[in-house]
Each structure stands twice: as C-alpha cells, then as structure tokens.
C-alpha cells in the first residue's frame, strides 16, 4: 500500500476517533497499523519522554525555555501561551520531535526555542551621570535627565560638552555615552520567561562604549548600529565611534562581529584590535595602541588645577584623559584631550578617583586604556605667600601671606630643604596672616603655609588640614649694623658700618628714636658718612643697604649715641691739652 502523509491535526483527529471506539488493546494495534500505513516512525511521533518534571512548571536550559506539559496541553496551546503565536506549533513540534501535538504525556519536557518567545519591554536605568544630558522620547518630548531615571525604548540621548551618562540594562550590561554624543535606544527588550536581552543601540554621533554581560548562555543579542556599520556581540567590552574616517570599532575584551547593514558579520575583531567601516567597505583589523604611562607624581593632586604628565606612545597622534569615580570608567566626571602630553582638569572636588587615559592612532582609533587611581586634596586652598622672598637682612624674620576666608587658622613650616625633610620651624594654630621669629640663623631656607578648617559635628571637632603652598626659598643674611660711635670732640662726626661689594646705603640720623625729626637723610655709596657736629645731646642712627642686585634690605636696629659739650679755640678747633681734647664736665 502506498504510504499516505497527513498533517498532525488530521492524524490527531483520526487517533481520537479510534480511542472512542476501541479498547486499549485495539488502540495499540491500530496505532501500530497506522504507523506502518502512514509511513511514520515511532520516534517521530512520540514526544521527548526522557525528561520529566512537575506538570505546569518551567525552567531555562541553555537559553531556551523548558516547559513540563499539563494534562490536555497541545502544541498549539503551548505555542500560544509562550510565543503568542499559534502558528509556532510546528516549529516547537519539530524541535521536540513531537508528531502528534495532542499526544503529549503529562509532565514531559517541551523545549520552546528562545527566538520564539514573546518579547517584553526592558527599560534602562541611569546608573551614572555628570554634566548636562537630555533625552528625547518617541513622542517628541525633551527633558533633562537625572540620576536613577528610567529610559524606555525609542529614547534619543544627547550629551553636551562635559556631559556623560552610563545606562544599566536589565541584564546588568552597561552602555556609556560620553560627551558630545547622540544615541538612540532603538530596542530595549527581553524575552518573557527567560529574560534573554534583545538590545539595539543606534549611534547617531560621537561615541558609545559598551560592557555587555555574557549572552551565550541566555542566547541574548546586543548590537550597536550606525549609518555605515553594525557591531554585534555575545558578551564583551567594546567602543563604537563616529570620526572623519568613518565608523571606528575598538574591542577591549571578547570579540565583536563587525560589518555593514547588507553584510552584518563581515569580520570578527578580537580583543586589542579595531577597524574602520566606511562607505568603501569594512576595513581590515588594526592593532590598538598600548595604554599610555604617566610620569610619577600624579598620585596626589593638591592644587585646584589637576595636572597629569604622560609618556609618549609610539605612533600616537593624540591622547584622551577621563576622570572617573570607578575603576570600570562608567561614572565619568570630566574628560579632556591632552595638550603637549599634559592633561589638565579644573574644579574637581576632593576625593579618590581614577584616571583613564588612551592614545589615538592616525586612523583615530582609540587605543587600550590605562586606569590609575589618584587622590585630590586641594581644599581648603593654601594662602598665597607674600614674604619673605629671595633674601632678607633682619634679625627677626616676618612671614606674611594672604587671608583665606575659609581658614580657621594657619600652619607654617620652615625647612632647610625643598622636600621639607629638615624642618627647623613648625608652627601651627596661627590665627593671623603674619608670624615673626628670631630663631633662624644665617643660611638658606624654604617656607610654606597651609590653611586649616575646623568644624563641630554632633559635639565632635573635626579638623581639615589643606595642602601647603608651593615652597618659597629665601636666604637669611647678616642684618645691617653700624660700628660703635665714639665722640672724639671733632667738629664733624663720622659714622661707619659693615658693607659688601656693590652696596649702596641710606643713612638716617635723628634726634628721636621714631626718626620723625631727621638731622640727616642721605644716600651714599661708601660705608661711611660725615656730618657737622650737632648740639650736645642723645641721637639715633640707622642704615639701610641696597645690594648690587637691587635688593633693598631693612634698616638696621637704631643705635643710640651721645654728642657731648666741647671747648674750641678761636679758630673753632677743639681745645687740646697734654691729656688730649678738653671737654667740660656736665652735671
């Protein structure tokens, strides 16, 4: 007899009629007969009865859904329940080798392929945000985004200058959109029951960086599309950017299938490689540049302007630096392009951060990142040092600085070395903007000043010591002095003092210690001066030197001297005796 072929519904109906008319033995005989006459095999019609489970329960295996059949379940009812389309019953039947869709034993396993499962919305959440970031929803409404906001499929995100946002997807993947970029959340879905992600990001401008959770186990899909290229992954870390050469793809971990819309999987880029997709085609793989290295000293940033010095990377034409709060560089605070191998940032609050720095090659492919931790401690800011500078000629050194309105007090240090390992003066709790000391001997020194804040929180005093100012060097020279004066009775008085080559001097002699009543105020180039003898009495002298380098020192300490009475001859000369000049006694 020629074998007749019927579809499963016909066979099911025929078998049902047999059950109604025959006994169990007759049914078995008829079933064997039917198998022979219809050209079907037992394995083709018998469902997968090896796997059993609790009827009505389900589980996920290798990304597919496994359902354990209930009484009266059919392939059509199962297809409708899990895929929302009755027409999928044939595909499910073939996948499970079920020919008779109504002969599914209770508790037997029925595998529903992941690609058939119903999809449901899987919104994204803003996990990190800095600067200005806006969203345009599918209804055309624009809003400024905030941390924690929920974004749905169809939202278009735009980041401004120094605007950054990282999205957390339902499967814990992360999508970071840096400054000056625009991306559309074209698809944010997941399969019902298995939660297998279905994500599509459309890059309109700028860059997007993705850290995708492993998708092999759940058969998820993640794609970044642009006008020229498609990058699809199953779990990896990669970047896609728009530049003057086309679409740049850069793989940091895993592998990425890259192609064009008409040929989506042209090549697979492994970790450490990238390529350019342009109108002319899919470019060949290019090895990404190595992570840049930093010169030492970056670990502590103690100034409002942060500065990082880079070592040059071979074949690099540019460098990007980002400050982030996390080692994964998902919470970006700021970014700059380095100038002359120096990356500088302003207005970064005190705290612990990470610097992420990359190099660009001639294709504008961004290389592998270096991520380094550092600390900012720039507040409260130090005052600006005023004096001393360079050198001084005084017995007592006066330190001066500008006032910091945020400071409770100041901390002054003086050392004999620029690294402040040999500290000779350490004075805290200074409440004014000056400090005077006579404890410094002649020599070379460095000084610095810091602001200190104090606050009381719940009865506990908290001190916040800011960074020191840049070290200021100065030299303590011997203070200006005058030689002792002795009145020899001459008509002219002569005064002398110590001097150094090239110095000039200002000499002042007064009848009062405040030097308000000057008898002499004279500039001289020699370390001596003469003046007519004044009336008898007490007088004061002081000298100020100007060095050859035009440094003007301080006045010497005023020296008191006495001019006595004296007798003169008719010619005006001092009266002499055998014992010398004759002076009258004064009582």
Whether the bond into 159 is cis, omega within 30 of 0: no
- Considering the chain, what percentage of its residues have pLDDT values greater than 70? 87
What the chain holds in terms of domains, given with CATH numbers, is 8-116 (no CATH), 119-287 (2.60.120.1440), 300-376 (2.60.40.10), 385-476 (2.60.40.10), 480-587 (2.60.40.10)
When pLDDT is averaged across residues 41-50 and rounded to a whole number, the result is 41
pTM: 0.71
Which residues face 453 on adjacent strands? 464
At 370 the pLDDT is 97
At 7 the pLDDT is 36
- The string of DSSP letters for 152-183 reads -TT-EEEE-TT-EEEEEPTTS-EEEE-SSEEE
The answer to whether 144 and 132 have CB atoms below 8 angstroms apart is yes
When pLDDT is averaged across residues 11-37 and rounded to a whole number, the result is 32
The answer to whether 124 and 210 have CB atoms below 8 angstroms apart is no
* pLDDT > 70? residue 23: no
3-class secondary structure, 102 = coil
Q: How confident is the model at residue 567 (pLDDT cuts 50, 70, 90)?
A: low
Q: How confident is the model at residue 570 (pLDDT cuts 50, 70, 90)?
A: low
Across 14-23, 80-89, 551-560, least confident range: 14-23
At 395 the pLDDT is 79
User: Hey, what are 277's tokens?
Assistant: 């997709």
CA distances from 539 to 229, 487, 523, 532 (A): 95, 12, 19, 13
At 208 the pLDDT is 95
Q: Which residue has the higher pLDDT, 35 or 528?
A: 528
What ranges make up the beta strands (E) of 431-496? Answer: 434-437, 443-457, 460-468, 472-476, 492-496
Among 428, 464, 418, smallest CA distance to 449 is for: 428
When pLDDT is averaged across residues 212-231 and rounded to a whole number, the result is 85
Q: Which residue has the higher pLDDT, 437 or 480?
A: 437
Over the stretch 434-478, which tens digit does the pLDDT of each residue have? 999 999 999 999 999 999 999 888 888 899 999 999 999 999 998
Phi, psi (5° rounding) for residue 95? -60, -30
Say how far apart CA 166 and CA 172 lie, in whole Å. Answer: 12
When pLDDT is averaged across residues 113-137 and rounded to a whole number, the result is 93
* pLDDT > 50? residue 375: yes
Half-sphere exposure of 231 (CA within 13 A, CB side): 30
When pLDDT is averaged across residues 231-257 and rounded to a whole number, the result is 90
Across 115-119, 273-277, 581-585, least confident range: 581-585
Among 250, 463, 267, 470, smallest CA distance to 382 is for: 470
- What integer best gives the mean pLDDT of the chain? 86
Q: How confident is the model at residue 104 (pLDDT cuts 50, 70, 90)?
A: confident
* pLDDT > 90? residue 579: no
* pLDDT > 80? residue 30: no
């Amino acid at each position: 007899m020629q074998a007749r072929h019927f579809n499963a519904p016909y066979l099911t109906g025929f078998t049902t009629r047999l059950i109604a008319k025959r006994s169990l033995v007759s049914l078995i005989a008829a079933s064997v007969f039917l198998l022979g006459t219809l050209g079907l095999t037992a394995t083709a019609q018998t469902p997968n009865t090896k796997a059993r489970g609790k009827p009505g329960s389900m589980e996920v295996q290798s990304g597919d859904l496994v359902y354990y059949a209930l009484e009266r379940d059919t392939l059509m009812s199962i297809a409708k329940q899990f895929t929302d389309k009755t027409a999928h019953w044939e595909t499910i039947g073939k996948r499970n080798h079920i020919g008779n869709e109504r002969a599914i034993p209770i508790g037997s396993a029925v595998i529903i392929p992941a690609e058939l499962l119903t999809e449901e919305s899987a919104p994204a959440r803003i996990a990190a945000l800095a600067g200005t970031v806006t969203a345009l929803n599918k209804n055309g409404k624009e809003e400024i985004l905030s941390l924690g906001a929920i974004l749905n499929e169809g939202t278009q995100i735009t980041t401004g200058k120094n605007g950054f946002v990282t999205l957390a997807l339902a499967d814990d993947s992360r999508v970071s959109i840096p400054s000056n970029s625009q991306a559309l959340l074209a698809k944010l879905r997941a399969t019902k029951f298995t939660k297998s992600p279905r994500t599509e990001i459309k890059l309109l401008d700028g860059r997007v960086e993705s850290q995708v959770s492993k998708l092999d186990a759940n058969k998820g899909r993640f794609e970044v599309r642009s006008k020229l290229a498609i990058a699809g992954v199953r779990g990896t870390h990669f970047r896609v950017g728009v530049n003057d050469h086309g679409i740049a793809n850069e793989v940091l971990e895993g592998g990425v299938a890259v192609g064009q819309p008409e040929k989506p999987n042209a090549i697979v880029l492994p970790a450490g490689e990238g390529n350019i997709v342009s109108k002319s085609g899919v470019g060949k793989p290019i090895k990404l540049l190595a992570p840049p290295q930093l010169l030492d000293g970056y670990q502590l940033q103690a100034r409002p302007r942060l500065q990082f010095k880079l070592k040059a990377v071979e074949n690099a034409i540019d460098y990007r630096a980002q400050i982030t709060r996390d080692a994964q560089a998902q919470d970006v605070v700021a970014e700059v392009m380095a100038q002359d191998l120096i990356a500088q940032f302003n207005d970064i609050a005190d705290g612990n951060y990470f610097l992420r720095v990359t190099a660009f090659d001639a294709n504008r492919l961004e290389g592998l990142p270096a991520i380094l931790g550092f600390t900012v401690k720039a507040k409260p800011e130090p005052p600006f040092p005023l004096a001393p500078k360079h050198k001084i000629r005084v017995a007592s050194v006066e330190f001066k600085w500008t006032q910091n309105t945020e400071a409770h007090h100041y901390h002054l240090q003086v050392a004999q070395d620029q690294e402040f390992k040999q500290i000779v003066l350490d004075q805290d709790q200074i409440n004014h903007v000056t400090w005077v000391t006579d404890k410094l001997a002649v020599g070379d020194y460095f000084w610095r000043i810091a602001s200190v804040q104090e606050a009381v929180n719940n009865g506990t005093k908290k001190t916040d010591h800011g960074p020191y100012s840049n070290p200021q060097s100065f030299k303590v020279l011997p203070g200006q002095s005058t030689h002792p004066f002795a009145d020899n009775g001459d008509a002219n008085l002569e005064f002398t003092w110590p001097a150094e080559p090239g110095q000039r001097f200002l000499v002042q002699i007064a009848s009062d210690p405040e030097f308000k009543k000057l008898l002499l105020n004279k500039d001289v180039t020699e370390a001596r001066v003469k003046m007519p003898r004044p009336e008898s009495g007490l007088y004061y002298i002081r000298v100020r030197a100007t060095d050859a380098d035009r440094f003007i020192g301080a006045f010497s300490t005023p020296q008191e001297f006495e001019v006595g009475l004296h007798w003169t001859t008719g010619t005006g000369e001092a009266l002499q005796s055998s014992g010398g000049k004759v002076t009258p006694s004064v009582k």
